[in-house]
Amino acid sequence: MKLWKMNGAGNSFAIFDARAARFEPDEEQIREIAEKLNADQVIALERDEGRDGFMRIWNRDGSEVSACGNATRCVGHLLLEESGKDMVTIQTEADMLRAFRAGKGLITVDMGSPLMGWEDIPLAEKMDVRGVDLKIGPIDNPILSRPAVVSMGNPHAVFFVKDVNDYDIPALGPLIEWHPLFPEGTNVGFAQVIDRHKIRLRVWERGAGLTKACGTGACAALVCAARAKLTDRKAMLVLDGGDLVIDWRESDDHVYMTGPIELEFETEV
């Protein structure tokens, strides 16, 4: 079985070619693979009728999840190179996604439409998703409060802050990740709006912790910022591992993510 070690804007993946061989690891094996290969997520590329491939996704803690934007860009690159096509389709548990070449070392993925209903996130109870009733710290002077929430095939809570460097994300992230408000857990974004075309973002990923980049997190941050009129519908997201351009198009309501990918090595296992 072929193994590719890749990253998308620093977001690190171990991708196994499971199209001709069974790959059914348990949670402990996923954790061991992620630890050994220093991967944020473990990916299985499987066959899919009517699509170029199916992508199965596990976080480094062993939990299986439905979506990962940067991994989709990496798998998209592999399928584009293999097929010679201009566009490939990738099925995930969340949706069918399309990947395109966008220049040297760049891949664009159509991430579909954001989901904005409280039950889509999901939340434990009905709330205004533009600012949910959640506070971290003293009630009268919280450290964080009222995040915007959205689903990009996985749940995201986005806090808009003055400076992302003012927050101890490894300490705060776990408090929010499995807060009772989020029955399926949530990814936690700390977004600093620089101007209408740029956002500085750091993300505590559900099941993976603080990563160098989070593709669905970047999409979620842009959607929440544009919805609040803090930015335009297209902006650059500056993450620890690189930059992503997110474009939430009015024409089809889809979110398009463009950014770099890197093949670190490939081997047979």
pLDDT digits (tens, 9 = 90+) for 97-126: 999 999 889 999 999 999 999 999 999 999
Q: What is the mean pLDDT of residues 226-235?
A: 98
**173 contact partners, CB below 8 Å, separation of at least 6:** 188, 204, 209, 210
**202-215 tens-digit pLDDT:** 999 999 999 999 99
**97 contact partners, CB below 8 Å, separation of at least 6:** 72, 76, 89, 90, 91, 109, 110, 111, 112
Q: What is the mean pLDDT of residues 79-89?
A: 97
Examine domains 2-110+259-268 and 135-253 and report if their fold is the same.
Answer: yes
Residue type for position 1: M
For residue 9, what are the CA distances in angstroms to 150, 212, 267?
Answer: 22, 7, 22
Distance CA 155, CA 53 (A): 24
Q: What is the mean pLDDT of residues 238-263?
A: 98
Per-residue tokens: 110 = 């159509």
Work out the mean pLDDT of the chain and round it to a whole number: 97
DSSP 22: -
Tokens 């808009």 locate to: 160
What's the pLDDT at 56?
97
DSSP string, 114-157: PB-STTTTT-SS---TTS-S-EES-TTS-SEE--EEEESSSEEE
Q: What is the mean pLDDT of residues 260-267?
A: 97
| Assigned CATH class of 135-253 | alpha beta
Per the CB < 8 A criterion, the answer to whether 215 and 68 are in contact is yes
Domain extent listing, the chain: 2-110+259-268, 135-253
Largest CA distance in the chain: 58
pTM to 2 decimal places: 0.94
Tokens 């395109």 locate to: 100
Distance CA 61, CA 42 (A): 10
**152-191 tens-digit pLDDT:** 999 999 999 999 999 999 999 999 999 999 999 999 999 9
Distance CA 211, CA 10 (A): 8
**32-77 tens-digit pLDDT:** 999 999 999 999 999 999 999 999 999 999 999 999 999 999 999 9
What's the pLDDT at 58?
98
pLDDT at 29 over 90: yes
Tell me the pLDDT band of 139, cut-offs 50, 70 and 90.
Answer: confident
Does domain 2-110+259-268 fall under CATH 3.20.20.140? My reply is no
- Which percentage of the chain shows pLDDT scores above 70? 100
Residues with catalytic roles = 68, 214
Per-residue tokens: 123 = 């939340």
Tell me which H or E stretch contains 57.
strand 53-59
Sign of the torsion formed by the C-alpha atoms of 17, 90, 12 and 58: negative
